[in-house]
Structure 1
Amino acid sequence: MRPTLRDFIDELDAAGELLRVREPVSPVLEIAARADAESKRPAPNPPSAAARRNDPAWWDLGGRALLFENVEGSGLPVLINALGSYRRMEMALGCARFVTPGGPDGFEAIAARIAELIKPEPPRSAREVVGALRRFAPLVRIPPRAVRRGVCQEVVTTGDAVDLTRLPILKCWPRDGDPAAVGFPAGVNAAVAGADLIDDPTSAGRYITFAHVHTIHADDAGVARPASHNVGMYRVQLIGRRRLAMHWHMHHDGARHWRSWATRGEPMPVAIALGGESALPFGAIAPLPPGISELLFTGFLIGRGVPMVRARTVPLRVPANAEIVIEGYVRHDAGPPGWDPRDETAGPLGPGAFFEGPFGDHTGFYSLPDRYPVVEVTAVTSRRGPVYPATVVGLAPQEDYFMGKAVERLFLPLFRTIAPDVEDYDLPLFGCFHNCAVLAIKKVYPMQARRAMHSVWGAGQMAWTKCVIVVDDDVDAHDARAVMRAVAQRCDPATDVELVRGPLDILDHAAPALGAGTKIGLDATRPGPGERRSAAAPGEPVDLDALRAMPGVRDAAALEDSGLWVALSLDENEPALAERLARQIGAMRTPPRCAILLGADVDVRRPDEALFHWLANCDPGRDRREHAGGMLFDARPKAPGVAPSGEPVRDWPPLIEGAPIGRARATA
């Protein structure tokens, strides 16, 4: 395990995991496009046996890490896709350090250690006492430690000398940072003080994407070791030479801290750090229980405390080994999200705010612009000759896919403390993490699958999960084909579907309200004693040719072997077509248990692509219809307004340009 980003680059190079790109490249679209294509190619080296077992369809992807050494407009190299494969994630987290003789490998080695710590067995002998001391003694070394100096401050630039355009900040997708490109009026941000780059074609739409953002709660102002010190990963838009726009979701700790400072009427100190210990980016996204510090967790992964040095212009400590640190203050006087310049009653944008976005997001769609606070930068510090780390998010798999799968595996022991029915779980690629979770349970009592669903919907960040599928433990939760086969055979739409209203991911564009809508649970377990018996699955497959012959249907394909779940691509988006098809499908001799209506551009013969669009473009309450013997979902793109159900449809974002979800169609 190497201590700094520079050491990690050397380790990747020695392992054949790094490609150095020496020809000139542009930070505007070109670097991101090359990283997007690389992420969908085979990785150079196989990962652990655990990774291959837990992700049988995608474990071999990720390509290589890319180090661009000649970036136009900047003297700094850009590292991207550094954590974009199972092997590189395992290297970054130091998985080998946790492997014990005869024990699991990869992420599961760390998960086993976490399980040991949260459920320690009481020692029964002097030898076991000694063994326990040896296991727990290293924890004394993992809290962050204060240091006087750090390489992150070898070069210090403050005040008017700061020029953020010297950093190779990336523009990843064509519509990034351009509200007019997604239907909003141009010039919304014209009056924002210091936003002097928004109309510059070489600087507009550029985002810091791979920083760990350090904040504290206002109640800890002046405290030497603030217990609230939080590390999160949020996108940050470049809007001026000394101005940024900070995007965070309402439930993020950074946003909660900002609200505490806003209540006091004071700007919030912030440090936006890039690089440092290779596990720090993962620590920043880890869904930790309340009271557990991201820095403490990073220290656990690397086996020692993260060294922290005082920032130069804000009252915070920052990672001493970081490559670059941007210091500043977040304006406290910005209004909340939910502002629309097209609404005559919305009032002005207001001081301290910026209409941030759009941004090509991990959902595979552009997240639409909204009001977020401005960061006024007071200093940029760095080591000499720093490397600028970046990532690109979009249609999976990308770098964040492998980070998310590490979260899935490492936090299974903690998840099981609040969902004890769950034997294993999977966050499938087509669900983009917040849209789907597959749970495997050992069923012993009636309605146990329903309990497991609601455990997820009450479990921290998993509470935003739109679709929960529950299978018996004899079904491999990591095998999407096996899971969909179980859903088709065992989930009767009349008895085995759970619909609940609740909070959803704020990036879910299909939700009728911002961050709120309907979730769906599919019980694909065998019915047990005391449960209503589901109807037997039809014995013959659905006639796909009959579906293809229906007016308006472009193509139809089965999503699993039995043909009881089907996807249809349609030529048009007229809402009435869904009602007509529901009647026609219900009249078939063998109707499908579930029919999913998709847009004309979706390749329904690729199940992962079809399932991705189903979950992304559908609210299960508003867009579900029943037909004789089954259900139908209208998951086509929609126009804003009111749906036939009477529920609202919000602004619909465009799909991100680039490679489709899943494996590259041709590899090289």
Structure 2
Amino acid sequence: MAFPDIQSFVRLLEDRGELVRVSTPVSRELEITEIADRLVKAGGPAVLFENVRGSEFPLAIGLLGTRERVALSLGVSDLDDLAAKVRHLIDLKGSGGLMGMLGNLPKLRDAMNLPPRRVKAAPVQEVVWRGDEVDLGKLPILKCWPLDGGPFVTLPLVITNDPETGERNMGMYRMQVMSKNTTGMHWQRHKTGTRHLEKAKKKGQRLEVAVAIGGDPALIYAATAPLPPIPGLNEFALAGYLRGERYPVVKGVTVDLEVPANAEFILEGYVDPDEPWVEEGPFGDHTGFYTLPDQYPLFHVTAVTMRKNPVYPATIVGRPPMEDAYLIEASERLFLPAAQMILPEIVDYHMPPAGVAHNLVVVSIKKEFPGQAYKVANGLFGLGQMMFAKVIVVVDEGVKVNDMDAVWKEVTQKAVPGRDTLTGRGPTDVLDHSSRGWGYGGKLIIDATTKRPEEIGSPKSSRDEQAQDTALDIFLPSAETDLPAFEGVLAQRQTDDGYWIVVLNKRRAGQSRELAEAFARHPAADGVRHLLICDEETDVNDLNDVWWTILNNIDPERDVWTVPDAGGGLLAWDGARKLHSEGFVREWPPKIVMDRAVRERVDALWHVYGLPEQGR
């Protein structure tokens, strides 16, 4: 199903009862974020804010805020159908004579839909601002979180062409508004936009840029998809395939770039590679932590084009789960067949929200030989943006990869720390605040598959698989223990499947390792396979919060280790904050938290907005 534009999708959601209109005046500074955050975490409806203070344009948010809405936007009944759709396309028959080749024709017709279609006139160019008319402050651009450096365009489709080959690229890179006609351009080290800018610099020319806001949902999704570097395969082509028809594009009015004809707004302009970079940030990012200020290129806006009555689509990112979790799930389904072509033993894989995309990948395999789990994990590390994965857990084919309770039980039952865990190094997401270096850090593979005899060897000792129900009095003051309380421990909890969670207010180097060693010597450690040391802002009773904190705050090579002399093996995870005294040289970022005054204002106005109890 092809949607003509984002407004048609808004109308469909409203007809289905999955979108509410808010006519009450609302602030684009923090207030919209608080409302949208509550609704997406509760699986609530999308919202069309019709009266945003300081702007004449309405704002839509949460349009892709559930798994079902993402599937609807991509024209499938369920996201699992995306895998079947791609598998159908790539399974071309190369034998069987004439009849075999004729059997490919329907698939080839699908492939012919990929290139975009140039049109002469477009709705997105009905209104044009040029020169001094350009004023980004007139758009309802959000300041999302309290410590953000300013307003950010959060759903931009940034279009550039390779200065050497002409190959087009579209990516979603946040854009901080710096002035009425400039923004930051958050092109990270590994992004295609960065390579285009470097090539423009070598050629001694500016890099033309167009930023689409809106389009239809398939294009918005495509801008987030981790496409492989195949000539001719770009975001417009992917959107065309998902739509079932070629994507309409039009030439920009001040740039020689093709832009989506059905967008709501287009920002046209350039980045000068010889111009000094500007400080961008902080920004409350999809990791759930703030990305701290850094230097990025400056985007100059030479024109803004738009529809006569546009809607400004936006999203927010922050502590999971957020809207981006469902886009990530769509990419999982879409690229599963391609991963299986390269690693055919893969049954399924999942990137849970607590792992914020790259921090955790769970993959199930059909195991046939010893060491196969490591073969698959290392193969995944070599596939495109999967190189950023931090922890890969490999399980047997019968395990549901999206059932995290089942996955972590498999880990305690089938992965002996030290024997079935392996650390290494590689590229990391530049947003990873805990890595040993910028874009470079540790990796962890956990083999939680059923072991072959060759993989077992002769373990030094065995340990009771059932964790004992013993209180960890060693760490907190108590008259019932003959051991002193351990410094800095604020809370703790043992699960029934082999994990002990400790909240540690770390104040000095070596504190986490001392804690792990003391724990390993205590009888309460018997039956525990994993000691999860969290920072002081973690809720031990919320496993999603625990794993989100742990996975964000570790460099596995440095912060995950097997504790010596701990019976059958204890794996310690140091997810507490890292200190300069430990040799960590970067500043540690804060977790994202909304201002209390904003929360209270939204509480008081919830019924005035006309919003459902869901999310209240």
Aligned-partner Cα distance in 1 for 2:324–2:85: 24
Aligned twin of 1:6: 7
> What does residue range 376-415 of structure 1 map to in structure 2 within 5 Å?
376-415=300-339
State the Cα distance separating 1:135 from its structure 2 match: 3.7
After TM superposition, the structure 1 stretch with the greater mean CA deviation from structure 2, 625-634 or 579-588, is: 625-634
Asked if the contact 1:36/1:658 (under 8 Å) is kept, the reply is no
State whether structure 2 residue 111 is matched by structure 1 residue 139: yes
Aligned-partner Cα distance in 2 for 1:162–1:116: 46
> What does residue range 311-322 of structure 1 map to in structure 2 within 5 Å?
311-322=252-263
Aligned twin of 2:67: 86
Aligned twin of 2:507: 573
Asked if the contact 2:321/2:354 (under 8 Å) is kept, the reply is no
Aligned-partner Cα distance in 1 for 2:13–2:132: 38
Q: Which runs of 5+ in 2 are unaligned?
A: 477-484, 596-612
TM-superposition CA deviations, 1:502-561 (whole Å, max 9, x none)? 1111100000110111111111112113223466552441434345534232222235x3
Q: Which amino acid aligns with 1:384?
A: K
Aligned twin of 2:576: 636
Aligned-partner Cα distance in 2 for 1:317–1:330: 17
Asked if the contact 1:123/1:132 (under 8 Å) is kept, the reply is no
Assess, with a 3 A threshold, how the Cα gap between structure 1 residues 607 and 108 changes in structure 2: closer, same or farther.
same
State whether structure 2 residue 191 is matched by structure 1 residue 210: no
After TM superposition, the structure 1 stretch with the greater mean CA deviation from structure 2, 485-494 or 549-558, is: 549-558
State whether structure 2 residue 542 is matched by structure 1 residue 541: no
Counterpart of 2:453 in 1: which secondary structure? coil
Aligned-partner Cα distance in 1 for 2:414–2:451: 8
Asked if the contact 1:144/1:306 (under 8 Å) is kept, the reply is yes
State whether structure 2 residue 125 is matched by structure 1 residue 153: yes
Aligned-partner Cα distance in 2 for 1:444–1:633: 30
TM-superposition CA deviations, 1:27-61 (whole Å, max 9, x none)? 111111111111111xxxxxxxxxxxxxxxxxxxx
State the Cα distance separating 1:477 from its structure 2 match: 1.2
Asked if the contact 1:582/1:626 (under 8 Å) is kept, the reply is no
Aligned-partner Cα distance in 1 for 2:107–2:291: 45
TM-superposition CA deviations, 1:558-593 (whole Å, max 9, x none)? 35x32x222101244333322321221121234422
Assess, with a 3 A threshold, how the Cα gap between structure 1 residues 154 and 240 changes in structure 2: closer, same or farther.
same
State whether structure 2 residue 205 is matched by structure 1 residue 244: no
Counterpart of 1:298 in 2: which secondary structure? helix
Aligned-partner Cα distance in 2 for 1:484–1:537: 18
State the Cα distance separating 1:128 from its structure 2 match: 6.5
Aligned-partner Cα distance in 2 for 1:571–1:251: 35
Assess, with a 3 A threshold, how the Cα gap between structure 1 residues 141 and 517 changes in structure 2: closer, same or farther.
closer
RMSD: 2.0
Assess, with a 3 A threshold, how the Cα gap between structure 1 residues 539 and 374 changes in structure 2: closer, same or farther.
closer
State whether structure 2 residue 362 is matched by structure 1 residue 426: no
Q: Which amino acid aligns with 1:545?
A: L
Q: Which runs of 5+ in 1 are unaligned?
A: 42-61, 97-105, 178-204, 221-225, 335-350, 660-664
State the Cα distance separating 1:409 from its structure 2 match: 1.1
Aligned-partner Cα distance in 2 for 1:258–1:229: 13
Aligned twin of 1:337: none
Aligned-partner Cα distance in 2 for 1:369–1:65: 31
Asked if the contact 2:157/2:213 (under 8 Å) is kept, the reply is yes
Aligned-partner Cα distance in 1 for 2:463–2:337: 35
Assess, with a 3 A threshold, how the Cα gap between structure 1 residues 123 and 636 changes in structure 2: closer, same or farther.
same
Aligned-partner Cα distance in 2 for 1:20–1:80: 11
State whether structure 2 residue 282 is matched by structure 1 residue 358: yes
Number of equivalent positions: 579
Aligned twin of 2:536: 600
State the Cα distance separating 1:129 from its structure 2 match: 5.7
Aligned-partner Cα distance in 2 for 1:648–1:25: 42
> What does residue range 176-255 of structure 1 map to in structure 2 within 5 Å?
176-177=148-149, 205-220=150-165, 226=166, 228-255=167-194
Asked if the contact 1:594/1:631 (under 8 Å) is kept, the reply is yes
Asked if the contact 2:509/2:581 (under 8 Å) is kept, the reply is no
Aligned twin of 1:551: 486
Asked if the contact 1:573/1:638 (under 8 Å) is kept, the reply is no
Aligned-partner Cα distance in 2 for 1:250–1:108: 32
State the Cα distance separating 1:211 from its structure 2 match: 1.3
State the Cα distance separating 1:154 from its structure 2 match: 0.2
Aligned-partner Cα distance in 2 for 1:236–1:83: 20
Asked if the contact 1:445/1:529 (under 8 Å) is kept, the reply is no
With the length of structure 1 as denominator, give the TM-score of the two structures.
0.83
After TM superposition, the structure 1 stretch with the greater mean CA deviation from structure 2, 130-139 or 607-616, is: 130-139
Assess, with a 3 A threshold, how the Cα gap between structure 1 residues 134 and 622 changes in structure 2: closer, same or farther.
closer
Aligned-partner Cα distance in 2 for 1:569–1:464: 27
Q: Which amino acid aligns with 2:256?
A: P
Aligned twin of 2:600: none
Aligned-partner Cα distance in 1 for 2:557–2:267: 44
Counterpart of 1:218 in 2: which secondary structure? coil
State the Cα distance separating 1:626 from its structure 2 match: 3.5
Assess, with a 3 A threshold, how the Cα gap between structure 1 residues 577 and 113 changes in structure 2: closer, same or farther.
same
After TM superposition, the structure 1 stretch with the greater mean CA deviation from structure 2, 152-161 or 565-574, is: 565-574
Aligned-partner Cα distance in 1 for 2:337–2:561: 38
Asked if the contact 1:236/1:244 (under 8 Å) is kept, the reply is yes
Aligned-partner Cα distance in 2 for 1:320–1:601: 46
Percent of aligned pairs with the same residue? 39
After TM superposition, the structure 1 stretch with the greater mean CA deviation from structure 2, 622-631 or 72-81, is: 622-631
Match of 2:392 among 468, 477, 480: 468
Aligned twin of 2:522: 588
Aligned-partner Cα distance in 1 for 2:530–2:164: 52
Aligned-partner Cα distance in 1 for 2:264–2:212: 8
Aligned-partner Cα distance in 2 for 1:130–1:158: 52
Aligned-partner Cα distance in 1 for 2:59–2:100: 49
Asked if the contact 2:285/2:317 (under 8 Å) is kept, the reply is yes
State the Cα distance separating 1:254 from its structure 2 match: 1.1
Counterpart of 2:176 in 1: which secondary structure? strand
Q: Which amino acid aligns with 1:332?
A: P
State whether structure 2 residue 246 is matched by structure 1 residue 298: no
Asked if the contact 1:489/1:537 (under 8 Å) is kept, the reply is no
State the Cα distance separating 1:485 from its structure 2 match: 0.4
With the length of structure 2 as denominator, give the TM-score of the two structures.
0.90
> What does residue range 494-533 of structure 1 map to in structure 2 within 5 Å?
494-533=418-457
Aligned twin of 2:37: 36
Q: Which amino acid aligns with 1:459?
A: L
Aligned-partner Cα distance in 2 for 1:614–1:547: 23
Asked if the contact 2:491/2:503 (under 8 Å) is kept, the reply is yes
Counterpart of 1:609 in 2: which secondary structure? helix
Asked if the contact 1:558/1:565 (under 8 Å) is kept, the reply is yes
TM-superposition CA deviations, 1:76-98 (whole Å, max 9, x none)? 000111111111101111114xx
TM-superposition CA deviations, 1:5-30 (whole Å, max 9, x none)? 11111111111110101100111111
After TM superposition, the structure 1 stretch with the greater mean CA deviation from structure 2, 360-369 or 648-657, is: 648-657
Asked if the contact 1:558/1:605 (under 8 Å) is kept, the reply is no
Aligned-partner Cα distance in 2 for 1:254–1:236: 13
State the Cα distance separating 1:3 from its structure 2 match: 1.6
State the Cα distance separating 1:649 from its structure 2 match: 4.1
Aligned twin of 2:266: 325
